[in-house]
Amino acid sequence: MLRKKFVVITTINYPTDAVKKIASECQEWNLIVVGDKKTPFDWNWKGVYFLSVQDQLMLDSAYAKECPFNHYGRKNIGYLQAIQAGAEVIAETDDDNIPYSSFLVAVDRYVEGHLVKKRGWENVYTHFVDETKIWPRGLPLEYINESLISKTPLGEKATFDCPIQQYLANGDPDVDAVYRLTTQGEIKFKPNTVILADGTFCPFNSQNTIWWPEVYSLLYLPSFVSFRMTDIWRSFIAQICLYKVGKNLAFREATVFQQRNEHSLIRDFKEEIPGYLNNVNIMDILSSLTLSNLPERMSENLYLCYEKLVEQEIIPKDELRLLNLWLKDIESLAAVLY
């Protein structure tokens, strides 16, 4: 693989329109698709590096051999493959996000945008709509009304180092089951770029996000939490670790249109309950940790975050065993990361 840019997707479906379009139009990027036990055995598409279950078990990776099946966390194996191949940047998305022509164009970790600097939770979606009431999945329910009534003022434009960047999705964007059960209609976000300052928190997802090498260890999706919380709780930990080393998180314009795969909204709601009950507490716990401000100790900070959440009985202890395997694989690739 001569190209050093990678897109990672996991799927249980035959090649979707989104996968086909990314493969054909994103010529500067390698596309890795990670299968699972539910993925069709004959999955194949031109221009895609497909990792079947058998392929994954043959990798020189202790993590790949232990990662639970039938869980979104198997996407981690795709990240490891991209890192091993020397990825200079990793983008992640899902197989139901149809890319616009702007998708993965002019990618740069240095971003010009409006800074939001406040203590606590921020509903970033309010800066991408005018009158529409909307909030991202993972924003604590107890802060939603406040965020809709009083929008945080945006600062003047400036350029920031943002090694994690969340792009939005039009159509059926990433919102929680409470929103979907009570609201109908397509969403179209207006263009904007919003940068979060240290201490300002907003959940971000794994649907249209770009990561640079300094933060590759933070890509880790936990496997012993619910499907609807794995990327959200990852985002909380990532923000804590990112801010500690003096970097920022960017939210950017929609570059995909989501035609959402079939979901049971009640099942989504059930899987989001741990978040409704714990999200505020999680961020309070993580904010109180003493972490290193050295980028080379990012993995250590990551582990300390999970260790604390296990200690507080929010995440099962089994997660630490799997996280250790992930970090060992990451450590073996350290020459690529730094």
Q: Could you tell me the two tokens for 237?
A: 């930990």
If you ran DSSP here, which 8-state letter would residue 227 be given? T
pLDDT above 60 for 222: yes
Mean pLDDT of the chain: 95
Helices 298-311 & 265-287 angle (0-180, nearest 10) = 110
Predicted local distance difference test score (pLDDT) of residue 259: 83
The confidence band for 333, taking pLDDT boundaries of 50, 70 and 90, is confident
pLDDT above 90 for 337: no
List of residues 6+ apart from 278 with CB closer than 8 A: 314
Q: Please say whether the beta carbons of 93 and 22 come within 8 A.
A: yes
Neighbour-count burial for 139-170, b at 16+ CB within 10 Å, e otherwise: bbeebbeebeeeebebeeeeebebbbbbbbbb
3-class DSSP state for residue 99? strand
If you ran DSSP here, which 8-state letter would residue 280 be given? H
Q: What is d(CA 212, CA 337) in angstroms, rounded to the nearest whole number?
A: 9
Q: Please say whether the beta carbons of 299 and 327 come within 8 A.
A: yes
- pLDDT tens by residue, 156-191: 999 999 999 999 999 999 999 999 999 988 999 999
The DSSP secondary structure of 164-176, one letter per residue, reads EEEEEEEES-S--
Q: What is d(CA 1, CA 4) in angstroms, rounded to the nearest whole number?
A: 7
Predicted local distance difference test score (pLDDT) of residue 16: 96
Calculate mean pLDDT across residues 13-38. 96
Predicted local distance difference test score (pLDDT) of residue 262: 75
Q: Please say whether the beta carbons of 297 and 245 come within 8 A.
A: no
Predicted local distance difference test score (pLDDT) of residue 148: 94
- Model pTM score: 0.95
Predicted local distance difference test score (pLDDT) of residue 132: 86
pLDDT above 70 for 100: yes
Predicted local distance difference test score (pLDDT) of residue 335: 57
Q: How far does Cα 237 stand from its chain's mean position?
A: 11
pLDDT above 90 for 247: yes
| Architecture of the CATH domain 5-337 | Alpha-Beta Complex (3.90)
Predicted local distance difference test score (pLDDT) of residue 86: 92
- pLDDT tens by residue, 62-75: 999 999 999 999 99
pLDDT > 70 fraction of the chain, expressed in percent and rounded: 98
3-state class percentages of the chain: helix first, strand second, coil last, to nearest 5: 40, 20, 40
The confidence band for 260, taking pLDDT boundaries of 50, 70 and 90, is confident
The DSSP secondary structure of 245-268, one letter per residue, reads TT--EEEEEEEEEE-PPP--HHHH
* Among 244, 238, 249, residue whose Cα is nearest residue 290: 244
Predicted local distance difference test score (pLDDT) of residue 135: 97
- pLDDT tens by residue, 114-152: 999 999 999 999 999 998 899 999 999 999 999 999 899
